[in-house]
Amino acid sequence: MQVRISTDAARKVEAEALVVPVFADGKLEGAAAEADSATGGALADILASAEISGKPNEVSLIHAKDQPFHRVLLVGLGDRAKFRPGALAKYAGTAMRYLGKRNLKSMTFALPAEASADPARCASFIVEGAIAGTIDTTTYRTEPDKPIVVESIAILAESFDRDALARGIERGQIIGESVNLARIMALTPANDMTPTHLAARAKDLAAQAGLEYHMLDEDAMLKKGMGALLGVSRGSDEPATLSVMSYKGDPSSKEVLALVGKGLTFDSGGISIKPADNMHEMKYDMSGGAGVIAAMYAIGKLKPKCNVIGVVPSSENLPGHRAMKPGDVLRAMNGKTIEVINTDAEGRLILADGLCYARELGATKIIDCATLTGACVIALGHAASGTMSNDEAWVTRFLEIAADCGERYWRLPLFDDYRTQIKSDIADLKNTGGRPGGAETAGVFLENFVDKTPWIHLDIAGTAYLDGESPFQAKGPTGTPVRAFVAIAEDLALGSSSSASNGSAKVATSK
């Protein structure tokens, strides 16, 4: 899809549709006011009739046969006083899905006046959202639903800084493409997305983004003492893999951010088998790993001045004849022994060795992500990802930077009570502390494998995929946490915890 800047006046835009924002106050400004004038007050009439009130992602289409833009699509942005740049991704995604499903091939987006505070970031969100809006889930049908195939989009320059818009467009294309890469990986069924396939995808994307890549096979894991990861893998004929993608954007620095993602390509629960209902969704259990792979691809393309490694331990969890059993004791890479209480608490086991390996590779800060616990879904629903940490400054910085990236995160505690719950009678730890505080006990379990390294755990069980579609996005995988990972890497490159604009990272320049 071609993306460009349009220097035309709004009333002279040549496109199949001109997309304009409208806030809940109903005021028509800038391109919206020009389009209203060109159409004889049609936009004002729509607002006066209350057909659209400016609520987020509301739409109303006006045909303008005698105008060069042919149509005007009004898209709601909500309360003007609460505007954040991240809302523009949903604004653009809503327009892309609404117009794309109606066979339109080109559209031009107008920005609200509020975008003048950070035009680069706003343009980035427009392009990211438009690209993310193109994905649908019917790729395996012999006659798939008609795809959204938009050939070109433009952002109306008006009085905005054109160099800033151009920087934002470049970034938005990379982020949008990367988010979709993660979503497509997660959509792929487990017979086509085994640990070996996931590792091959990581290797291919690393090459495309200019990253270093290496993989540990099961023999190498055995030599490293990765008994937790190998324990999960025992029940499957598919071998486990551990992929590492490395980006060295600041060779002069010893600081290394590690992103560690759970790559469970299918989770039956093992011997503690899951109920049959909705088990097919367990192909999504590698969403954390897909997010790390896609974020590393984006970081390689964006080239921020920082060092980042992506670590993706991957296996299947199946009840084969060699599968781990409740009561078994596994030994992780750092020597910690783990009593297996429930074989369906396997994600934390493969992450344990992934976190240890990240530290061996020199990580000075760590963020892991995983579709880890149903308990987190009960606690937060599908509205936010659970966030836990051993380091107040590090998690505060992350939450500030991620506040307007298009993903939502919420802090959960790691009280000593939860540490007591996972004490084993015969080993150092047990892999579950029962139902109470299930998200938090998983967090304190993982804390045992990072030592003193500043670390954040993201439980994305409720946000990695959604059961229903929205105006701006198809149902299924969301690409969480690609956007947050890129934002924190960019902020580290800027070298300041106070570098956020409206609580979010600015668009960083390349090194």
Domains of the chain: 2-156 (3.40.220.10), 188-505 (3.40.630.10)
Alpha carbon dihedral 119, 121, 125, 131, in 10-degree steps, equals 100
Question: What pLDDT was estimated at residue 511?
Answer: 39
Whether the pLDDT of residue 403 is over 80: the answer is yes
Sign of the four-CA dihedral 351, 355, 360, 363: positive
Please report where in the chains the tokens 């390509």 appear, as a residue.
265
Which residues make Cβ contacts (< 8 Å) with residue 473, sequence separation at least 6?
Answer: 93, 97, 132, 133, 135, 466
What is this structure's pTM? 0.95
pLDDT tens, residue by residue, 1-53:
999 999 999 999 999 999 999 999 999 999 999 999 999 999 999 999 999 99
Question: What pLDDT was estimated at residue 137?
Answer: 83
* Tokens of residue 439, six digits: 């998200």
Beta-ladder partners of 76: 22
Please identify which of the residues 348, 359, 430, 483 carries the catalytic annotation: 348
Residue 265 · residue 190 · CB < 8 Å: yes
pLDDT tens, residue by residue, 140-194:
888 767 788 899 999 999 999 999 999 999 999 999 999 999 999 999 999 999 9
Whether the pLDDT of residue 509 is over 80: the answer is no
Q: Which of the residue ranges 85-99, 478-492, 497-511 would you say has the lowest mean pLDDT?
A: 497-511
Residue 257 · residue 307 · CB < 8 Å: yes
Cα–Cα distance list, 30 to 35, 127, 158 (Å): 9, 20, 8
Query: Where does the pLDDT of residue 427 fall: very low under 50, low under 70, confident under 90, or very high at 90 and above?
Result: very high
Query: Where does the pLDDT of residue 500 fall: very low under 50, low under 70, confident under 90, or very high at 90 and above?
Result: very low
User: What amino acid is encoded at 129 in this protein?
Assistant: G
Whether the pLDDT of residue 220 is over 50: the answer is yes
* Tokens of residue 269, six digits: 């629960």
Please identify which of the residues 162, 203, 274, 411 carries the catalytic annotation: 274
Query: Where does the pLDDT of residue 510 fall: very low under 50, low under 70, confident under 90, or very high at 90 and above?
Result: very low
Question: What pLDDT was estimated at residue 138?
Answer: 82
Angle, vertex CA 458, rays to CA 457 and CA 464, nearest 5: 155
First to last CA, the chain: 27
- Clarify whether 224 is annotated catalytic: no
Angle, vertex CA 117, rays to CA 296 and CA 179, nearest 5: 25
- Clarify whether 71 is annotated catalytic: no
Question: What pLDDT was estimated at residue 66?
Answer: 86
Task: Give the pairing of strands 329-331 and 106-109.
Answer: unpaired
Write down the mean pLDDT value for the chain.
Answer: 95
Q: How many CB atoms lie within 10 A of CB 425?
A: 6
Q: What is the mean pLDDT of residues 378-402?
A: 98
* Tokens of residue 90, six digits: 């949903």
Question: What pLDDT was estimated at residue 250?
Answer: 97
Q: What is the mean pLDDT of residues 433-447?
A: 97
Question: What pLDDT was estimated at residue 508?
Answer: 45
Q: What percent of the chain has pLDDT over 70?
A: 97
